[in-house]
Amino acid sequence: MRTHKCGELTKQHTGQTVELCGWVHRRRDHGGVIFIDLRDRTGLVQVVFDPDVHEAFSLAEHVRSEYVLKVKGSVRGRPEGTINPNMGTGEIEVLVSEMVVLNESETPPFPVESEIEVNEELRLRYRYIDLRRFAMQEKMKVRRDVARVLRNFLDDHEFFEIETPYLTKATPEGARDYIVPSRTHENAFFALPQSPQLYKQILMVAGMDRYYQIVRCFRDEDLRADRQPEFTQLDVETSFMDEDEIMHIMEEMIRQLFQKVIGVNLGAHFPRMTYQEAISKYGIDRPDLRIPLELVDIAEDMKNVDFKVFSAPANDPQGRVVAMRLPKGGDLSRKEIDDLTKFVGIYGAKGLAYIKVNDLSAGVDGLQSPIVKFAPAEVWDSVLAKTGAQNGDLIFFGADKASIVNEAMGALRVKLGHDLGLLEGEWKPVWVVDFPMFAWDEKSRRYAAIHHPFTAPKCSIEELQANPGEALSRAYDLVLNGTEVGGGSIRINRPAMQRAVFEILGIKEDEAREKFGFLLDALKYGAPPHGGLAFGLDRLVMLMTGSTSIRDVIAFPKTQSAACPLVSAPAVVPEEQLRELGIKLVKQPGKEKA
């Protein structure tokens, strides 16, 4: 139906007769002539209707925004002075000789051509209008490019794309599973996968060697800003590689991805950092390394000070006391510091102590803070030296349970970094390694897996059992600008180790058998050493397009209340259909339409 796309015409096409299809982006009548910016996925081109071409002109007179047109015409250079350098096709225009209106359009609920902000509910309900906007077209394009580059890389590296089932069995964290009744099985349910973790391990046992899949995952949970009930993962698993080899090849993939899709060079070698170092310096296991602020431990200095707020956590094995230097932070107003105090309160911090460094040469007198008096000068000397303080700086302090200090000061660090424009460099990837195997959960009085129960430890069964809390895992997370974009591990490939881990996690033998019997069986029949990774595709695309909402990088996302305003899902289902599935509603819907 067309010879060219709108956005691809250039001066080189001058003199050619072309046929184009597209939408009326803008229409202007000027000097008796009608100008239409015609739009398709590739961009805009100006098409011109001259009154001399009577038929097309009189059709064009009735054309409005978002009408779908087919035009035939000849490409000509624009007259001097009307060239538009902001438009890819700005040097030319198409003088129309024939036109067909392929479809009409009512006035859209919001304009396509302007970038004015529109209520998100409306955008999602009329997603077909929203997706016509250039910003959204660009995001969808990046998303498809991301999938394509990842696939090509993995195909070229002998990874086999293999599909795993969506109708499967409830997973360990079963409460968040979506479950699916079926007509064929009374009282039994499928579950939608939270990830294909066990299937990909089974594929390794099956000798598939290298596997990948761009796959949907499902989680029925309360939604946060960057979560969706269904989200997309790049899932990768390989046999016969250790963690270094896996990190190396995945790093190369991500490097190529950024280079090819958005022209960004992430650097020849991604740094590695232990979990311990990340928590120590940044309070978090996904540090944003663009922010040049660091937590510095000062518990040693504070053990004997006459200030319980500091000395108590400094002497508590579960406590932590840190200082964080904000260069030139001395300019912060009282109000600004009050706001920051409120901010750290969100994370449970009971206050936010600080010192303004006015004049280092004046000793303690050069320090401005209500807390200076609580400790002798040599303590402050030591703290200032550890933080590397300069005149004009501000030092913040955090002192509490370690978990609160880490969360509060970690968040404060990120907030200051962004609010004060301190970011250094645009892209800072880092591998975080040497995670603990388990975290002790006070509430349930047992260990929980930091990654998942299939992650291999760095130690032997005996060492693991002797001291589970100290054991490190063979897991690795890829963090980019403070976002965890991917994570994975070497997996357990022997039944004895898998059973030992289940035991430490308090999973009883019959429960393990019922839930993971097939995995324990599979490990008995020659399971190769294997490991892998999963990347959050939505998050990667968010980062690469600079999007603040995950909903902007998904063609048809759910709202924050997990609904789809476009098709009106979820919806009521006829009672008869439920009966066929062997289920009924707990609360009968009363007068509601069933």
User: Is 191 near a copy of itself (CB under 8 A)?
Assistant: yes
Query: How is 264-314 classified by DSSP, letter by letter?
Result: ----SS--EEEHHHHHHHHSSSS--TTS---EEE-HHHHTT-S-HHHHHHH
Among 88, 90, 108, 267, interactor with a copy of itself by CB under 8 A: 108
CA quadruple 231, 234, 237, 243: dihedral positive or negative? negative
Distances (CA, A) of 367 to 128, 358, 577: 60, 6, 74
Among 144, 269, 350, 373, binds a copy of itself (CB under 8 A): 144
**Contacts to a copy of itself from residues 237-256, by CB under 8 A:** 239-242, 245
Binding flag, residue 164, a copy of itself (CB under 8 A): yes
Among positions 48, 60, 203, 326, the unique one binding a copy of itself when judged by CB under 8 A: 203
Count of CB atoms within 10 A of residue 201's CB? 23
Contact letters (x/-) for a copy of itself, 476-505, by CB under 8 A?
A: -----------------xx-----------
234 annotated ligand-binding residue? no
* Under 8 Å between Cβ of 240 and 204: no
Q: Is 486 annotated as a binding residue?
A: no
Closest approach, Cβ 182 to a copy of itself, in A, equals: 5
Pairing of strands 367-368, 319-326: unpaired
By CB under 8 A, residue 209 contacts a copy of itself: yes
491 is in an annotated binding site: yes
Confirm or reject binding of residue 532 to a copy of itself (CB under 8 A): no
Enumerate the β-bridge partners of residue 234. Answer: 214, 535
Residue from 188, 377, 448, 466 binding a copy of itself (CB under 8 A)? 188
Strands 272-274 and 429-433: parallel
Q: How far are the Cα atoms of 151, 260, 426, 435 from residue 266, in angstroms, in the given order?
A: 19, 11, 9, 24
Closest to a copy of itself by CB, 394 vs 541, is 541
Least Cβ distance, residue 130 to a copy of itself (angstroms) = 8
125 assigned binding-site residue: no
Among 126, 307, 343, 374, binds a copy of itself (CB under 8 A): 126
Rounded CA gap, 474 and 457, in Å?
Answer: 6
Nearer to a copy of itself, 291 or 527 (CB): 527
- CB–CB of 229/207 below 8 Å? no
Interface mask (CB under 8 A) for a copy of itself, residues 211-230, using x and -? Answer: -----x-x-xxxx-----xx
Kindly indicate which of the ranges 124-132, 258-266, 377-385, 432-440 contains the residues binding a copy of itself, using the contact rule CB under 8 A: 124-132
Q: For residues 203 and 462, give the distance between their C-alpha atoms in angstroms, rounded to a whole number.
A: 29
- Window of 276-284, 336-344, 463-471, 578-586 that interacts with a copy of itself by CB under 8 A: 578-586
**334 or 587: CB nearest a copy of itself:** 587
CB atoms within 10 A of CB 594: 14
Applying CB under 8 A, among 9, 18, 21, 504 the residue interacting with a copy of itself is 21
- Interface mask (CB under 8 A) for a copy of itself, residues 534-573, using x and -? --------------------xxx-x--xxxx-xxxxxxxx
The DSSP line for 39-81 is: EETTEEEEEEE-TTSHHHHHHHTT--TT-EEEEEEEEEEPPTT
Q: Kindly state whether residue 13 participates in binding a copy of itself, applying the rule CB under 8 A.
A: no
Pick the closest to residue 366 from 397, 393, 326 (CA basis): 393
Q: Is 104 left (phi over 0), alpha (psi -120 to 50) or beta?
A: beta
Using DSSP's 3-state secondary structure scheme, residue 99 falls into strand
* Among the residue ranges 26-34, 140-148, 483-491, 543-551, the one whose residues contact a copy of itself (CB under 8 A): 140-148
Q: Is 509 among the residues that bind a copy of itself (CB under 8 A)?
A: no
User: What is the spatial distance between Cα 62 and Cα 487, in angstroms, rounded to a whole number?
Assistant: 56
The yes or no reply on residue 89 touching a copy of itself (CB under 8 A) is: no
DSSP codes of every residue in 462-509 = HHHHH-GGG-BBSEEEEEETTEEEEEEEEBP-SHHHHHHHHHHTT--H
Q: Which is nearer to a copy of itself, 149 or 360 (CB)?
A: 149
Task: Report how far apart, in Å, the C-alpha atoms of 262 and of each of 187, 247, 289, 545 are.
Answer: 50, 22, 20, 9
Task: Give the integer Cα–Cα distance in Å for 83 and 62.
Answer: 27
Stretch of 170-178, 295-303, 375-383, 542-550 lying at the interface with a copy of itself (CB under 8 A): 170-178
Binding residues among 35-54 for a copy of itself as defined by CB under 8 A: 39-41
SS3 575: helix
Residue 582 binding a copy of itself, by CB under 8 A:
yes
Based on the shown chain and the rule CB under 8 A, indicate whether residue 195 belongs to the binding site for a copy of itself. no
**CB-nearer residue toward a copy of itself: 184 or 333:** 184
Nearer residue to a copy of itself within complex by CB, 169 or 418: 169
Task: Name the token pair of 395.
Answer: 């030092």
Q: Is 345 in the site for a copy of itself (CB under 8 A)?
A: no
* Three-state secondary structure call for residue 544: helix
Q: Which two tokens stand for residue 283?
A: 């309070």
For residue 580, state whether it binds a copy of itself (rule: CB under 8 A): yes
- Is 586 a binding residue for a copy of itself by CB under 8 A? The answer is yes
Minimum separation from the CB atom of position 567 to a copy of itself (A): 4
Residue 441 among known ligand-binding residues = no
- Tell whether 228 is in a known binding site: yes
Q: Is 219 annotated as a binding residue?
A: yes
502, with CB counted inside 10 A (0-12, 13-18, 19+), is buried
Among 11, 28, 141, 508, binds a copy of itself (CB under 8 A): 141
The answer to whether 40 is annotated as binding is no
Measured CA distances, 410 to 279, 281, 512, 562 (Å): 9, 9, 37, 30
- The Cβ of residue 208 has, within 10 Å, a number of other Cβ atoms equal to 17
Neighbours of 267 (CB within 10 A): 14
Among 102, 377, 439, 448, binds a copy of itself (CB under 8 A): 102
Which range binds a copy of itself by CB under 8 A, 29-37, 51-59, 166-174, 459-467? 166-174
Cβ proximity to a copy of itself: between 21 and 291 the closer is: 21
Does 411 engage in binding with a copy of itself (CB under 8 A)?
no
121 counts as binding a copy of itself under rule CB under 8 A? no
Query: Residues annotated as binding site?
Result: 173, 219-221, 228, 451, 484, 491, 536-539
Which residues sit in the known binding site for ATP? 219-221, 228, 484, 536-539
